[in-house]
Structure 1
């Protein structure tokens, strides 16, 4: 499947695969397939982990974590929650998720994907400053 954004081909965008998985998760939610949606979200989070470059802090005190390490923890927490839907071990076998909980996890994964950097040539275009306009003074 080829993704398009504003008429541009996104097949080379490193976020494309995760985006496709999140679309599949949303389709599964429409079909009321909660576990399937959680599985697709989990797969997307794995791609986000691979593409983000967020460094895992290990046993570092939480107050000493860098910004990237905090993003890594957030991603891990969401991935851990989505894992419970498909891994039925002694603890998670009792877990059940509502449609709204699954929707929340899919949405959080989608939000994390927005934090993963765009390819450099796109992000440079987007981050160029807008032409200077004179701001009105505060009243």
Structure 2
């Protein structure tokens, strides 16, 4: 039981740092370049997409969207997922974030399920922190709406 708490705590720590870095980058950028509100909305949907469509289809969707008009927030989601998986397993260090689909396709069923569940737990922490931190940041920057 204690081991599970440590795993969740580590995922939460990583998610917190990702959101914190994103918000710091946004503060230093031009207000026209801000995308945290889009990110907050998009990251909430990713776990549902994974449940409904699977990890491979969802990640392919993220790659496609990262080049469109909503590109910045989806590109950030893509990079966060890639960095998380890369930190967890050397298997994912083979190239660029766009190559993850190929890696997912070649996983055996057990690895694929394990990766999917692990990523869902991480995304859960990201959703929670993005809700709280982005809202707090927007109120602080915008004067408290």
TM-score (norm 2): 0.36
TM-score (norm 1): 0.37
RCO higher in 1 or 2 (8 Å CA, sep ≥ 6)?
2
